Each structure stands twice: as C-alpha cells, then as structure tokens.
Amino acid sequence: MSKKEKAMDLFKQGYNCSQAVLLAFAEELGIDETTATSIATPFGGGMGRMREVCGAFSGLLMAVGLKYAPKDPKDQAAKAAHYALVQQLADEFKKQNGSIICRELLGIPGAQSPTPEPRTPQYYQKRPCAEMVGSAAEIFEKLLQTKNS
C-alpha cells in the first residue's frame, strides 16, 4: 500500500485530514502513532474547523518539519532554504488542488460549528478531503524519494 493510499485509508477510518497525513509517515519520522495523532488533531478542518489552511497541507508541513527542519535556530541560510521548500510544496499542492485554504477547496464559508460532521457515504461524496489527504501524502513521499536519492 502506498503512503497516499495509507493516508486516504486513515482519513476514511475517521482520522482528520492532518492526522491522516502525519500518521501515514509516523514510522519514517520516528514518532509513535499517539504522538502523531495528538500533534495533528487541532489542524483538522482547516484548524479546528475554521476552514483556514487545509489540514492535509498542514499535516504535510508537520512531516516536513519533523524530517527536514534546520537544527540551529541561528542558521539563517538553513531557515531560508527550509522556507523555500515550504513555498515550493505549497505551490505543488496548489497546482494539484487549486489552493491551500480549506474553505476554498471545499467551496464553503469560513468558520463553522466546531462539531465535526458524521462520516457517512454522503459526506465522502461531497467532500474532496480524502483526495487532498492523498495529494499531500504523495507530495511528501516524492520529497522523501528525491532527498534520499
């Protein structure tokens, strides 16, 4: 099973978009599943269902930070290179999906009730979230392959 498929499956099991992406890579990132799930929880629904930055994209960035963040806070060149990578990944996610903003991806207004919608077949038909999760996981998997080759 590819990481894309794993992330999409995790989302369909009930994990939020951010959790599904980060959790798909927990082993490679050296974190346990409970930690990955806990860290990513607030970012679902575009940050607590406020429909801001897409949770799938946020999960991708968490994975990037865990794997590639500069270690020296005074190393400005390393920070700049890391931020350039983040911008490159944002461009790729936008190219594939149209935006990194949850409400734009879903075509809905901003902040909504904090209560998540039940995960019914109708939910999955009207929400492209599983595809966003798959896209984010695929982008990170390609990054891992590129940097490890």
CB 18 within 8 A of CB 43: yes
d(CA 77, CA 128): 37
Distances (CA, A) of 77 to 64, 82, 101: 17, 9, 28
User: Could you tell me which residues come within 8 angstroms of residue 7 by beta carbon, excluding any fewer than 6 positions away?
Assistant: 20, 21, 23, 24, 133, 134, 136, 137
Could you tell me the pTM of the whole model? 0.95
User: Could you tell me which residues come within 8 angstroms of residue 30 by beta carbon, excluding any fewer than 6 positions away?
Assistant: 66
d(CA 112, CA 102): 12
The confidence score (pLDDT) of residue 76 equals 97
Q: What is the residue whose two structure tokens read 């679902």?
A: 44
Per-residue pLDDT of the chain (149 residues; tens, 9 = 90+): 999 999 999 999 999 999 999 999 999 999 999 999 999 999 999 999 999 999 999 999 999 999 999 999 999 999 999 999 999 999 999 999 999 999 999 999 888 789 988 888 888 888 899 999 999 999 999 999 998 76
